[in-house]
A and B are shown apart, each in its own frame.
Chain A
């Protein structure tokens, strides 16, 4: 396989991280978040998708004191600082689980192209919109 030339500037691909697992029961959610944060160093066009049980990752009010595990949910709120500003959440997945957008963390970013205005990172989308978003990607990493 040919080695990618990482020194070449200007090659930006669309990366989507697809999150389909609940937090804490398995390590998928935390591992995904770690990869997103590491990948943020590479200056690509990154988005995150939350569907199926993945929507549980960004439910607000998580308190893990009683189970002896690290609560990593506050880290999602820092994604904007890593220029990860597009979090797509599937509406149907929320509804099946008795959730609405009000149950989710408030995740925002400061838009450098708009005088650093604070804007929401979370976009609740329908399944067919999610399908289209997936179809637009160059690379999809699934967790």
Chain B
């Protein structure tokens, strides 16, 4: 399954709830304000690092750039994709679940 998260982990429980429900082999794509979860050395960033491998993590590059974050400041193991990569992820997975 592909999970997308579009809310800041510092404002809502969306990120925490999604990670609590992501099964081994699932992919999680952070978009819009969801990309803030990818900042290294934060609680959400540490959770990504800890769960990486069991779950694959992706972040949408244009949303990262818009918010002034740099790829270098992102949690280890997270992969940056563009809009075409977003489409590929949706196509690769049977089901997509949008965590709002």
**A residues adjacent to B (C-beta < 8 A):** 21-26, 52-53, 56, 59-67, 69, 71, 73, 96-99, 103
Contact = CB atoms under 8 A, between A and B. Distances in A.
A50 B28 CA distance: 30
A56 to B, nearest CB: 6
Interface residues of B, number: 25
A132 B15 CA distance: 32
A73 B68 contact: yes
Interface residues of A: mostly helix, strand, loop or mixed? loop
B32 interface: yes
Given A22-B36, A25-B33, A52 B10 contact: yes
B51 interface: no
Interface in B4-44: 6-8, 10-11, 32-33, 36, 39-43
Contacts of B50: none
B70 interface: yes
